[in-house]
Structure 1
C-alpha cells in the first residue's frame, strides 16, 4: 500500500473524519513503516500545537470578590415582635367583641348601640385581621399578600371614621379600637419592605465589581477557538487533486 494513501487515512483520523480505508489496514502499515510512523507523530504534534495554547495569567481576585459580597442581615426581630404584639391586641379585641364584651365596637345610633348580626360580622372581620397579622409575624413573607387588602381597608376606614366624627356618629372607644389595625398595617408594610430586599438574588444586591476589576483581568485571545473549528473541517493534508 502506498504511503500517500495511508497518510491520507491518518490525516482523516486526526481530523475526526471517516478514513478512506479500513483502520486495521492502516495500523498494520504504520507498524511496519518508520516513515509513516514519524509522519503520524509529527502530524499529531502539529495538531496539538495548533489547538492547545497556554492559559493566560489571571490575577487572584477571590479576596476582593468575597469582600464585595454583602453581609447577611439579621432577621428584624423587633419588627416581628411589634407586629406580634399588635396582632395579639387585635385578636383579643375581636374575641372580646365576638363573645359579647363591651368594647365600644358597636355603632352609636340615636343613643343605642347596634347589636346582632352586624356586630358579629364586624367581630369576625376583626378576628380575621388579627389572625392574619399573627401569621405575618410568624411567616414574614406572607406580609406582601395581606398588605393590599388591609391597606384599602384602612384607607376606607379612615375616610368613613372622619365622616362619622363630623356627624357625631362614633364614640371615642370605637375610634381607639381602630388603633391596632392602623399600627398593624404600618408594621406589615415595614416587614414587607425588609423581606422584599432580602428576597432579591444576591447578585442584584451586591457590587459585581466589573468596572473595578476590568483593568486587572487580561483579555483572552480566543482566536485559537476559531482555529479549532476550522481545523476540524479541513481536508486531509495529503489529499490533493490530480493535475
Structure 2
C-alpha cells in the first residue's frame, strides 16, 4: 500500500466512513510508516479543532428578561362569574324547592286544575334550566353568547307582564320581586360577555409583539408589475370566509 491510499483510508476512518481498503492493510502500513503516523496525528488534531471549539461567552440577560416579561394575565370577569355562580345556586334552590314541595309555590299547595298544574310544571322546568344555564356560563364564560339572546327576550317579556300584573293587582309585589334572580343573572351575563369578547387567542399578543418590535412601522413594499395593489389591511383567516 502506498502512503496516498493509506492517508485516504485514514481520512475516511476519521470521518466515520467506509475505508477504501481493508482496515488491517491500513494498520500494517501505519506500523511501518512514520510519515503516515505523523499525518494521522496532525489530521486527528485538526479534526478535533473543527469539531470541538470553546463556548462563546454571552452576556447574562436573566435580569433584563425578567424585568421586561409581561405580568401574568388576570382572569377577566372573575367577580361577576362568582356572583353568577351564587345566582345559579339560588336559582337551582328555587327550582328544587318547587320540585320537592318545600317552597311557597310547590306542587302540594298548588291548585286550580290540570292546566294550572301544567303551567306550574313549566315554570319549575324553566327555573331549573335557568339555574343550569347560569352555572354553565359562570364556568364557561363563552357560553354567554348563546344564553344571552334567549334570556334577553325572556326578561323583556317578563318585565312587561310583571308591570301589567302590578298595575292590575293580578300579582303581589313580593311575587314580582321574586324575579329579581333572573334580572340579576341577566345583568351579570352582560357584564361577563363584555369582559370575554376579546379577539381570538393569541391575536392581542401578536399585535403587542408587532408594536413592540416596530414591525407595524415598516415602509410599504413596492408592488411588482402585475401584482394586486396592497391596501395595508390584514386579510381575514380563510376559515372565516363565507362559503360560495
Q: Which interval holds the TM-score relative to the shorter structure?
A: 0.5 to 0.7
Higher relative contact order (CA 8 A, sep 6+): 1
- The DSSP-based 3-state class of the residue aligned with 2:18 is coil
Q: CA deviation at 1:49?
A: 3.5
Name the Cα RMSD after superposition: 4.2
Contact 1:7–1:36, Cα closer than 8 Å, also in 2: yes
- The equivalences for 1:187-202 within 5 A come to 187-188=188-189
Question: Structure 1 residues 58 and 192, CA, compared in 2 at 3 Å: closer, same or farther?
Answer: farther
Report the counterpart of residue 44 of structure 2 in structure 1.
Answer: 44
Q: How many residues align?
A: 196
Q: CA deviation at 1:187?
A: 3.4
CA-to-partner distance for each residue in 1:160-179, whole Å, 9 max, x for gaps?
23554686698555653333
Report the counterpart of residue 223 of structure 2 in structure 1.
Answer: none
Q: CA deviation at 1:79?
A: 4.0
Unaligned runs of 5+ in 1: 104-113, 213-243
Q: Structure 1-normalised TM-score?
A: 0.60
- The DSSP-based 3-state class of the residue aligned with 2:25 is helix
Counterparts of 2:27 and 2:6, CA distance in 1: 9
- The DSSP-based 3-state class of the residue aligned with 2:16 is coil
Report the counterpart of residue 226 of structure 1 in structure 2.
Answer: none
Q: Structure 2-normalised TM-score?
A: 0.59
Counterparts of 2:213 and 2:66, CA distance in 1: 16
Counterparts of 1:96 and 1:26, CA distance in 2: 96
Report the counterpart of residue 63 of structure 2 in structure 1.
Answer: 63
Contact 2:76–2:195, Cα closer than 8 Å, also in 1: no
Q: CA deviation at 1:8?
A: 0.9
Give yes or no for the alignment of 1:12 onto 2:12: yes
- The DSSP-based 3-state class of the residue aligned with 1:116 is helix
- The equivalences for 1:112-191 within 5 A come to 115-134=116-135, 140=139, 142-145=140-143, 147-161=144-158, 163-164=160-161, 171=171, 175-188=176-189
Give yes or no for the alignment of 1:90 onto 2:91: yes
Report the counterpart of residue 25 of structure 1 in structure 2.
Answer: 25
Report the counterpart of residue 234 of structure 2 in structure 1.
Answer: none
CA-to-partner distance for each residue in 1:40-78, whole Å, 9 max, x for gaps?
121223333345544433221112222314247489874
Unaligned runs of 5+ in 2: 106-114, 215-244
- The DSSP-based 3-state class of the residue aligned with 1:128 is helix
